[in-house]
Chain A
Amino acid sequence: MSIDAPAVLGEPIPRLEGRQKVTGEALYAYEYRADEVLYAWPVQSTIVTGRILRLHTDVVLAMTGVVEVLTHLNAPKLADGDDGELLVLQSDRVAYRGQVVALVLATSIDTAREAAAALDVDYQNDGLDVELSAEHPKLYAPEEVNAGFATDSEQGYVDAAFATAAFTTDEVYTTPALFNNPMEPHATLAAFDGERLDVRDSSQGTSSVQQTLSTMFGLDPANVRVRSEHVGGGFGSKGSPRPNVILAVMAARVTGRPVKIAYTRQMMFALAGYRTPTISHVRLAANADGRLTAISHQSYTQTSTIQEFAEQVAEPSRHLYAAPNRLMTHRLAALDVPTPRWMRAPGEAPGVYALESAMDDLATVSGIDPVELRIANEPDVDPESGTAFSSRNLVGCLRRGAELFGWAERDPRLGIRRDGRFLVGTGVAAGMYPAMTSASGARVRALPGGRYELGVNATDIGQGARTVMAQIAADALGVPVSAISVDLADSTLPKGPVAGGSSGTASWGWAVTKACERLRSELAAGAPVPPEGYEVEVETSVDVDAMAPLARFAFGAHFVEARVDLDSGEVTMPRMLGVFAAGRILNARTARSQFLGGMTMGLSMALHERGELDAVLGDYANHDLATYHVAANADVRDLRVEWLEEEDRQLAPMGGKGIGEIGIVGTAAAVASAVRHATGVKVRDLPIQPDRLIGQLPPRFL
């Protein structure tokens, strides 16, 4: 083995594939070539619910270049893969507008698209039920909510606490349907060679895609290879297989030819998953010094009729602050809509928005400074489990943020700071996100000449996994990063979890550390590496299972300044600051962009993003990026990120907590708080667009 190189974990080394990406060399799923490839184009339902009566495929099949049209009448039967959204073309039933009712296969993409548009479908239209409300008759309590959390939890007597409280708030906070929309839409290339299936898929985890394909198509997993070498973002929408990969494999099976499919931006709004609209009824009670005596968070969300997905909106309220009396509930309505799914910080993003907005309301009614109010409610142990936190630095984030932001000079009065036609205000909110770890495999091979091949089924969805895995291996082996080549996002590698839940780096990285340490101990220092190399492979189930039962969370504090145009109700942000405590930061450059990206997405959630439901036609009318807005550069000027040094030895050995999601959590509440401070108007229905403010703003001329 070589001499120890200086440690590189934490260093801001640039993404290893950065150059390949900016020069266009890096290939994404759709860009791979295959001989005799067919292009698939989905035909989507134009009714909301009902039955397919007739598909006029003859007209389409007669078009030059059209090879096949798959429908529920001729598609191969699929086994259940535990997700109703994946059972494509299996029945004549339509469950939402935009569901796939046929797949056209043609020799060119333009023919496929034109043919798909030309396919006439006769339907029996059975009406629609697409609008969520807290009074919806179909609301029910699911058995559990996303990630296995309890549907309901209750402690003490919430109502009684309200009767005796010094201060109370009781409000409803809503977030609209939100759409992940990564830069690269979902895409797949699938090819069979006999019984062997080779798939390039834009996915956050190849192991789970491989598993699902094997199950649904009855294939031997050993014959199924899934690769996702480069992925242009996911934000949760590629965290499990989506209909695109099932359709491509199905078509490849039927035609015996390689098949490509890519969603258009418009299709993303029906076929990729999205964040359910959320309704949160939050009630807080506090005594005279602001200590909470009751927290009640009752949430209402939607799922589809073909698959249950219950976003854990009230779950974060079980952990952020303590109170002797607590009630957290989840109710779900199965509507005629596409199935919602994971979107960056499912549960936390809308849930903490609601809870932190309520804390802001409590600060306003009590007159207690919102930073101090939060500090006063800092729990000693996790309020839900009663166990200790592995580390908890919310107070540190709040104090550091307050100092950097100049919070002490803030005048708490609402709606009084004018700068010409603008009202100016500042706001704050906390954020938290669980630090999770799951088992992963990894292998590493030493080669003669001091090179190492690392194989770990991580997925680099832009967050920098390839780079950080190389850094982890370099330090564990005591060699420079340049001595390591990284193989990832390939289901033939030792099994690894998805890039999701902010847990990828901790999970894969633990396996990498373990493999490298084992290699180092097995290959005695100075011993020659055999000509064929020397390889070890490990798995971390036992290590992960042996973790002490502690509450593990990353924390953050957002401090923001808002400027509201009195003529237009437009809101822009001169300053946004996020301070985070997320364990050890493993790469300062990629970490910074995760925090910034999360905060930017939180800003979008606060000010811009909204699926506009058409309650008559039953879909989201604004299904492209010209009409579904995300933040632009001009929306924020000074966007700043800081993190606290945090040493937590109760995590995976690298000591990081996961940072993919914490940045979005709390941002929207801080923005709403700043808008209220500026204008005196509290908006509780996101996004805060001109129509929410214009009728309530103070007069322009005094």
Chain B
Amino acid sequence: MKTFEYERATSVRSALTSLGTPGTKPLAGGTNLVDLLKLGVERPDLLVDINRLDFGGIEPTDDGGLLIGAGVRNSDLAADLLVRTRFPLLAKALLSAASGQLRNMASTGGNLLQRTRCTYFMDTTKPCNKRDPGSGCPAIPGASRELGILGVSNDCIATHPGDMAVALTALGAIIHVDTLDGPTSFEIGEFYRLPGADPTRDTNLPAGALITAVEIPGLPFGAVSTYRKARDRASYAFGLVTVAAALDVEDGIVRDVRIALGGVSHKPWRASIAEESLRGKLVTARSFEAAADAELAAATPTEQNAFKVALAKRMLVGTLHELAGGHE
């Protein structure tokens, strides 16, 4: 393992100052970063421990939303009463992830920035455009079963592996960020990137910046929401395909809907085509299926992950059916 320095930040400002030097990384729960250090995937010179910084807790906002500090642990966020009542999809997404021990350590900020679980990215003896630009993507002709089907590029088919961000994407969360030049923020759909020709960057977070908080705008029908995760074992596995959805139905007609898919793309995938296709439609299995087909028409799977198209469709249709009050 490469030797590195460690320092404990005393303020956001001091952390940002340290992060101004290239080769510096913030350390939150460490559940992803430390693994990647051991594997030699991340090789920082300096770790800035931000665990003692106060990014705030979980606060209700005036519009019925929530403001969540970057240091809030996944376990605490999942257990929060406001989260569970206003946005059950978020609590469910969090609880579907990792294990109890990991969730106790994992922070809101670190969770958003967890790296892909593509096995090629995590194995430094193999090429990977994300880790080693220009070296190639062996996943495309190789073991691609778990990888992306939407928004992929010829250079990378990695997925964002997380669950929380999928729920936050359905909710259109705002990521608040601080930099040496002052604070800024991103709508979550603008925060995550598609791989394109530069898969090295997962997000548009500026170099040396810190995530300070996540804001969820109010969503009146947020309470009618859920999160489903299809995976290779019943717990402690990343999703093959996941669905975060909230549904607003009046008189058997879809008034509004929010859908995001996980496990299918380099970013949590807001299913805007499906959403658009559903608004104003009758609540029937047929409209759900048509919406799923419309969203997935753009999928470009490999032979190994072609099943994800059918899986995503069934998952999406089943989840909407459940939210519409159908028999589970």
Q: A interface vs B, CB < 8 Å?
A: 44, 46, 110, 113-114, 117, 266, 420-421, 565-570, 572, 607-608, 612-617, 621-624, 626-627, 629-635, 689-691, 694-695, 697, 700-701
How far apart are A606's CB and chain B's nearest CB, in angstroms? Answer: 11
B305: nearest chain-A partner, CB-CB: A691
Contact B230 A690 (CB under 8 A): yes
CB contact under 8 A between A631 and B311, given known A46-B125, A114-B1, A616-B142? no
Contact B145 A691 (CB under 8 A): yes
Contact B285 A622 (CB under 8 A): no
**Which of A566, A607, A622, A623 touches B314 (beta carbons < 8 Å)?**
A566
The interface residues of chain A lying within 8 Å CB-to-CB of B146 are 627
B201 at the interface (CB under 8 A from A): no
The interface residues of chain B lying within 8 Å CB-to-CB of A44 are 125
Which residues 308-325 of B have a CB within 8 angstroms of A? 310-311, 314-315, 317-319, 321-322
B197 at the interface (CB under 8 A from A): no
CB contact under 8 A between A568 and B311, given known A420-B327, A613-B143, A622-B143? yes
Q: A632-B236, A690-B232 are in contact. List 20 more A-B contacts (CB 8 A).
A: A110-B1, A266-B123, A420-B327, A421-B322, A421-B328, A568-B228, A570-B234, A612-B119, A615-B142, A623-B119, A624-B122, A626-B238, A629-B237, A633-B235, A635-B234, A690-B307, A691-B240, A694-B310, A695-B307, A700-B317
B124 at the interface (CB under 8 A from A): yes
Determine the distance from Cα of A626 to Cα of B146 in the docked complex, in whole angstroms: 12
Determine the distance from Cα of A424 to Cα of B311 in the docked complex, in whole angstroms: 20
Contact A690 B235 (CB under 8 A): no
Contact B119 A567 (CB under 8 A): no
CB contact under 8 A between A691 and B307, given known A570-B234, A627-B119, A631-B233? yes
B281 at the interface (CB under 8 A from A): no
**Which of B126, B237, B285, B315 touches A701 (beta carbons < 8 Å)?**
B285
A-B contact pairs, 16 of them (CB 8 A): A46-B125, A110-B3, A114-B2, A421-B322, A568-B311, A607-B233, A614-B143, A617-B142, A627-B119, A627-B146, A629-B237, A632-B233, A634-B234, A635-B235, A690-B240, A690-B311
Contact A569 B311 (CB under 8 A): yes
Contact B142 A566 (CB under 8 A): no
Which residues 199-217 of B have a CB within 8 angstroms of A? none
Contact B233 A612 (CB under 8 A): no
Contact A614 B40 (CB under 8 A): no
B115 at the interface (CB under 8 A from A): no
The interface residues of chain A lying within 8 Å CB-to-CB of B235 are 632-635
How far apart are B70's CB and chain A's nearest CB, in angstroms? Answer: 25
Contact B318 A566 (CB under 8 A): yes
User: How big is chain B's contact interface, by range?
Assistant: 35 or more
CB contact under 8 A between A420 and B328, given known A566-B314, A570-B231, A614-B143? yes
Determine the distance from Cα of A690 to Cα of B310 in the docked complex, in whole angstroms: 10
How far apart are A488's CB and chain B's nearest CB, in angstroms? Answer: 34
Determine the distance from Cα of A582 to Cα of B143 in the docked complex, in whole angstroms: 41
The interface residues of chain A lying within 8 Å CB-to-CB of B269 are none
B182 at the interface (CB under 8 A from A): no
The interface residues of chain A lying within 8 Å CB-to-CB of B119 are 612, 621-623, 627
A568: nearest chain-B partner, CB-CB: B230
The interface residues of chain B lying within 8 Å CB-to-CB of A621 are 119-120, 123, 142-143
The interface residues of chain A lying within 8 Å CB-to-CB of B317 are 567, 700
The interface residues of chain A lying within 8 Å CB-to-CB of B321 are 700-701
How far apart are A700's CB and chain B's nearest CB, in angstroms? Answer: 6
Contact A694 B314 (CB under 8 A): yes
Which of A114, A568, A631 neighbours the largest number of chain B CB atoms within 10 Å of its CB? A568
Give the dominant DSSP class at A's interface: loop
The interface residues of chain A lying within 8 Å CB-to-CB of B241 are 568
The interface residues of chain B lying within 8 Å CB-to-CB of A266 are 123
How far apart are A2's CB and chain B's nearest CB, in angstroms? Answer: 49
Contact A608 B314 (CB under 8 A): no
B138 at the interface (CB under 8 A from A): yes
The interface residues of chain B lying within 8 Å CB-to-CB of A570 are 230-231, 234
Determine the distance from Cα of A634 to Cα of B96 in the docked complex, in whole angstroms: 12
Determine the distance from Cα of A54 to Cα of B328 in the docked complex, in whole angstroms: 62
B117 at the interface (CB under 8 A from A): yes
How far apart are B104's CB and chain A's nearest CB, in angstroms? Answer: 18
How far apart are B107's CB and chain A's nearest CB, in angstroms? Answer: 19
Which residues 95-149 of B have a CB within 8 angstroms of A? 117, 119-120, 122-126, 138, 141-143, 145-146
A692: nearest chain-B partner, CB-CB: B307
Contact A614 B231 (CB under 8 A): no
Determine the distance from Cα of A631 to Cα of B145 in the docked complex, in whole angstroms: 19
**Which of A46, A117, A608 touches B232 (beta carbons < 8 Å)?**
A608
The interface residues of chain A lying within 8 Å CB-to-CB of B238 are 626
Contact A612 B145 (CB under 8 A): yes
Determine the distance from Cα of A622 to Cα of B304 in the docked complex, in whole angstroms: 14
The interface residues of chain B lying within 8 Å CB-to-CB of A608 are 232-233
B146: nearest chain-A partner, CB-CB: A627
Determine the distance from Cα of A624 to Cα of B307 in the docked complex, in whole angstroms: 23
Which residues 1-38 of B have a CB within 8 angstroms of A? 1-3
How far apart are A674's CB and chain B's nearest CB, in angstroms? Answer: 16
The interface residues of chain A lying within 8 Å CB-to-CB of B125 are 44, 46
The interface residues of chain A lying within 8 Å CB-to-CB of B233 are 607-608, 629-632, 634-635
The interface residues of chain B lying within 8 Å CB-to-CB of A614 are 138, 142-143
Contact B232 A616 (CB under 8 A): no
CB contact under 8 A between A627 and B117, given known A421-B328, A634-B234? yes
How far apart are A571's CB and chain B's nearest CB, in angstroms? Answer: 9
The digit string for B227-257, where 1 denotes a CB below 8 A from any CB of A, is: 0101111111110110000000000000000
Determine the distance from Cα of A472 to Cα of B327 in the docked complex, in whole angstroms: 58
The interface residues of chain A lying within 8 Å CB-to-CB of B231 are 570
How far apart are A119's CB and chain B's nearest CB, in angstroms? Answer: 12
Contact B2 A617 (CB under 8 A): no
- The 7 A-B residue pairs with the shortest CB-CB distance in the complex, in nearest-first order: A567-B318, A621-B143, A568-B230, A634-B234, A691-B307, A634-B235, A614-B142
The interface residues of chain B lying within 8 Å CB-to-CB of A613 are 143
The interface residues of chain B lying within 8 Å CB-to-CB of A117 are 40, 124
A608: nearest chain-B partner, CB-CB: B233
Which of B119, B321, B322 neighbours the largest number of chain A CB atoms within 10 Å of its CB? B119
How far apart are B157's CB and chain A's nearest CB, in angstroms? Answer: 13
The digit string for B139-174, where 1 denotes a CB below 8 A from any CB of A, is: 001110110000000000000000000000000000
Determine the distance from Cα of A612 to Cα of B241 in the docked complex, in whole angstroms: 19
B242: nearest chain-A partner, CB-CB: A568
The interface residues of chain B lying within 8 Å CB-to-CB of A46 are 125-126
The interface residues of chain B lying within 8 Å CB-to-CB of A624 are 122
Determine the distance from Cα of A632 to Cα of B327 in the docked complex, in whole angstroms: 28
Contact B232 A689 (CB under 8 A): yes
How far apart are B235's CB and chain A's nearest CB, in angstroms? Answer: 4
Contact A617 B126 (CB under 8 A): yes
Determine the distance from Cα of A266 to Cα of B285 in the docked complex, in whole angstroms: 45
The interface residues of chain A lying within 8 Å CB-to-CB of B240 are 690-691
**Which of A421, A567, A572 touches B234 (beta carbons < 8 Å)?**
A572
Determine the distance from Cα of A565 to Cα of B228 in the docked complex, in whole angstroms: 12
Contact A612 B232 (CB under 8 A): no
Determine the distance from Cα of A144 to Cα of B138 in the docked complex, in whole angstroms: 38
The interface residues of chain B lying within 8 Å CB-to-CB of A695 are 307, 310
The interface residues of chain B lying within 8 Å CB-to-CB of A629 are 232-233, 237
How far apart are B233's CB and chain A's nearest CB, in angstroms? Answer: 5
Which of B235, B310, B322 neighbours the largest number of chain A CB atoms within 10 Å of its CB? B310
Determine the distance from Cα of A117 to Cα of B41 in the docked complex, in whole angstroms: 11
The interface residues of chain A lying within 8 Å CB-to-CB of B234 are 570, 572, 632, 634-635
How far apart are A605's CB and chain B's nearest CB, in angstroms? Answer: 13
Determine the distance from Cα of A634 to Cα of B100 in the docked complex, in whole angstroms: 13
Contact B1 A113 (CB under 8 A): yes
Determine the distance from Cα of A631 to Cα of B234 in the docked complex, in whole angstroms: 8
How far apart are A568's CB and chain B's nearest CB, in angstroms? Answer: 4
How far apart are B81's CB and chain A's nearest CB, in angstroms? Answer: 25
The interface residues of chain B lying within 8 Å CB-to-CB of A634 are 233-236
Contact A567 B315 (CB under 8 A): yes
The interface residues of chain A lying within 8 Å CB-to-CB of B319 are 567
